[in-house]
Chains A and B, each alone.
Chain A
Amino acid sequence: MDLSYTETQDMLRDTLARFLADTYDFETRKKMLDRPEGRDPGIWRALSAELGLTGASFAEEHGGLGGGAIENMIMMEELGKVIAIEPWLQTVVIGGGALKAVGGAHADALIPQIIGGDAVFAFAYAEPQGRYDLANIATSAKGDASGYVLNGHKAVVYAAPWATHLLVTARTGGARADRGGVELFLVEANAKGITRRDYPTVDGFRASEIYFENVSVPGDALLPGGIDLIEALVDEATMALCAEATGVARKLLEGTVEYTKQRKQFGQPIGKFQALQHRMADMLVEAEQIQSMTLMGTLRLDLPTDQRKAAVSLAKAKVARSIKFVGQSAVQTHGGIGITMELGIGHYFKRATMIESQFGSADHHLARYEALTLPA
């Protein structure tokens, strides 16, 4: 067993951390959110074309650095520390993950574009009725002479307003909740028949409702693998999200401890009060466990399917609960100022809250874990 990082991994983390420290301070981030497009595309260009960091988890034959899930974890943790508004999860982890899984012409064409910063992905998987069940899909993909025709409505698609490509889950057959018949499609974001309703999200991202009306895609738009591929991709994305939570939790804890050293009430820094000390000690314990579960789940992504699923679900359930505790405790310890837009803490809390339920709430993942591991 060896839980240490390689030199290259340390270097990647340092490079990204330094870049973000220079470009992603609180005030600059706020200005990015206020732009009409909700981000500064120059940052993405720098992360990709200029620094080559987006290549960390891709094979060298595609121009990457040969890494994988560990590299994604490292990067997501650093992005979480600045609550970055960047489509890394959607593009590198999910888009890149799908391309790596299917290989072939799509991978050869698009992975270099991801690394170079020209391709940005969004993952259109959720539907209004489906909650966190990936197989509960009403969007249809009907085969015709030239390929498939997509019809349906995808909900709350993060990063869609910025995307060049969409990964869309749709049903080629079967009833609404059947696992069979659900497939993953690669669709150009500006394909004819796609309309979007864009909006900001509460955690500072941009997202869309996406409506597909007779959208024709070629036959090779179907990325073979069905629901198993989709679940594997979402499991990988879930662990990347947990890594982001690690960074968010660290910052919530750091910011809170720092604040309680400065803030004086009753003639002393409030950090001297035992009630608050114990709460912050608990925050540290939870933040540590977020990191531990992130590592556990990430290292088990390669296990056989059911073991992988069980590990990821256990990790996400724990992370969801812990990040909620850390976020709520950070706000409570700050008092009123924690509920305003004025300090970073509130913005981290908002992201923490959305991470809780993204790709499934604690309840959802505990239920999946139970179904996989406990005899009925």
Chain B
Amino acid sequence: MDIEFSPEDLAFRDEVRAFIAENYPKELRGKQDEGDELSKEDFLSWHKVLAKKGWVAPAWPVEYGGTGWTVTQRFIWSEETARADCIRLMPFGLTMVGPVIYTFGTPEQKAHFLPRILSGEDWWCQGYSEPGAGSDLANLRTRAVRDGDHYVINGQKTWTTMAQHADWGFFLCRTDPDAKAQEGISFILVDMKSPGIEVRPIITLGGEHEVNEVFLEDVRVPVANRVFEENKGWTCAKFLLAHERVGIAGVAASKRGIERIRQIAATELDGDKALLANPFFRRKVAELEMDLTALEFTELRTLAGEAAGKGPGPESSALKIKGSEIQQRLTELTLEMAGHYGAPYFRGFGEGDNEHPIGPGAWANRAAPTYFNARKTTIYGGSNEIQRNIIAKMVLGL
């Protein structure tokens, strides 16, 4: 065993670091520093830089456009992008539907969709949750009925993240209403420009428009857009959820988050001293680092298992639970740092509004909305209650 990077790994790290420094979009950096909301084009600008370089989907098999990096290299990549404060790439194509398509899709589906995911040409969204099917996802009622070589889809999806930008969506639909809950579901790719689709915004507590309701009324979709067998979509869904849970740990981003807290707290005042000198505050930073380190090494062990050929199993639920809790605590500490200046509600610095932030910086005014927003991390991707159920059932055999 060896936890240190090899000389090759270190050379790779330097290469990655230099690439990011030279190629990360400068306008994007500016907007992030100001705390601006990011547009679709902003999200895509970094995606496209990476697509051009061939680094946009490190985890994909090489034959479909992956990088062929080792697990260590992928780890370095996520560390370095977080360290440089790069935005997170939208996961719906790259880490969700992409792997489903290259694992379960037809040659035609692979040839058509995978390159467009890599290039950023198609923006994807995820049609899973429904008003009556949240934690109980298999209870979904959206129906897809065969009509010749088409499905006709009717139903309603909710919490559909970034659907307002989406070109395509992957939807779980019931194709056999008589089957047991998990059976009779199919995994269908839907062109979001199809007639009969309506996307309505849901505004969350910080004032953001991230999630949507999606209404489907007699939406016609070619049967050729179904991935894997009819009524076997739950296989794809489970595969995807297990993958989603790994990325959801967000270790590298949380490390960067702690780094930022250290920086800000070193200069923000608490009376006549730096906030970081406050014994209560520094203890919380230390505790957070303790828990994050435990999570990091748990993830490394999972990655090592993956490299040895074991797919992510139910253990990834542990990563999701701890990762999401740590993300929330980071936002709690940031709100604490803001002090009184956590209260002003001031959205959208920039975007035609040149007013300066209220108090020590945009970070302070964003602290409360970010804290509110981060409550989602223990709810989405299978709530943490569901993750505990998975551990109890699948790992402990209870």
Q: Which residues of A come within 8 Å of B, CB atoms?
A: 126, 128-133, 136, 155-156, 158, 176-177, 197, 199-203, 205, 207, 209, 264-266, 270, 273, 275-276, 328, 331-332, 335-336, 338-342, 346, 349-350, 353-354, 357, 361, 363, 366-367
Contacts and interface: CB of A to CB of B under 8 A. Distances in A.
14 contacts: A156-B340, A156-B343, A199-B358, A202-B368, A264-B132, A331-B375, A332-B383, A336-B134, A339-B373, A349-B375, A354-B343, A354-B368, A357-B340, A363-B278
Nearest to A333: B385
Interface string B257-278: 0000000000001111000001
A266 B359 contact: no
Contacts of A176: 272
B280 A366 contact: yes
B360 A201 contact: no
Given A328-B375, A335-B379, 7 more contacts: A126-B340, A155-B340, A158-B343, A200-B345, A201-B343, A202-B343, A336-B158
B345 A136 contact: no
B135 interface: yes
A367 B280 contact: yes
Contacts of A156: 340-341, 343-344, 358-359
Nearest to B205: A346
B139 A266 contact: yes
Instruction: Output the residue of A276, A349, A363 with the most chain B CB within 10 A.
Output: A363
A273 B341 CA distance: 39
Contacts of A129: 269, 271
Nearest to A158: B343
Contacts of B342: 202, 354, 357
B378 interface: yes
B203 interface: yes
Contacts of B134: 265, 335-336
B345 A202 contact: yes
Given A199-B346, A209-B358, A275-B388, A357 B336 contact: yes
Contacts of A266: 135-136, 139
B124 to A, nearest CB: 20
Given A202-B343, A357-B342, A197 B376 contact: no
Contacts of B159: 336
Instruction: Output the residue of A129, A273, A346 with the most chain B CB within 10 A.
Output: A129
B369 interface: yes
Contacts of B311: none
B161 to A, nearest CB: 11
Contacts, number: 130
B204 A339 contact: yes
Nearest to A279: B385
B349 interface: no
B71 interface: no
Contacts of B375: 328, 331-332, 338-339, 349
A136 B271 contact: yes
Contacts of A332: 375, 378-379, 383-384
Name A's interface SS.
mixed
Interface of B: 129, 132-136, 139, 158-159, 202-206, 211, 269-272, 278, 280-281, 335-336, 339-346, 358-360, 368-369, 371-373, 375-376, 378-380, 383-385, 388
B342 to A, nearest CB: 7
Nearest to A347: B205
Contact of B269 (A131, A209, A338): A131
A23 to B, nearest CB: 24
Given A155-B340, A202-B342, A354-B343, A339 B280 contact: no
Contact of B372 (A130, A207, A275, A349): A349
A91 B33 CA distance: 39
Contacts of B371: 353
Contact of A130 (B135, B271, B385): B271
A350 B372 contact: yes
A209 B360 CA distance: 13
A349 B335 CA distance: 14
A207 B346 CA distance: 12
A177 B269 CA distance: 12
B368 A336 contact: no
Nearest to A366: B280
Contacts of B158: 336
Contact of B345 (A199, A265, A346): A199
A336 B345 contact: no
B343 A203 contact: yes
Contacts of A273: 385
Contacts of A342: 202
Contacts of A136: 271-272
Given A177-B271, A332-B375, A340-B204, A201 B344 contact: yes
B202 A340 contact: yes
B139 A265 contact: yes
Contacts of B136: 265-266
A344 to B, nearest CB: 12
Instruction: Output the residue of A202, A207, A331, A340 with the most chain B CB within 10 A.
Output: A202
Contact of A339 (B360, B376, B383, B385): B376
Contacts of A201: 343-345
B372 A339 contact: yes
A128 B359 contact: yes
A276 B360 contact: no
Contacts of B135: 265-266, 270, 335
Nearest to B203: A341
Contacts of A366: 280
Contacts of A363: 278, 280-281, 336
A206 to B, nearest CB: 10
Contacts of B133: 265
Contact of B205 (A133, A349, A354): A349
A274 to B, nearest CB: 11
A304 B360 CA distance: 38
A199 B342 CA distance: 13
A265 B139 CA distance: 8
A31 to B, nearest CB: 16
A265 B339 CA distance: 39
Nearest to A361: B336
Instruction: Output the residue of B136, B340, B383, B384 with the most chain A CB within 10 A.
Output: B340
Instruction: Output the residue of B202, B271, B281 with the most chain A CB within 10 A.
Output: B271
A361 B345 CA distance: 20
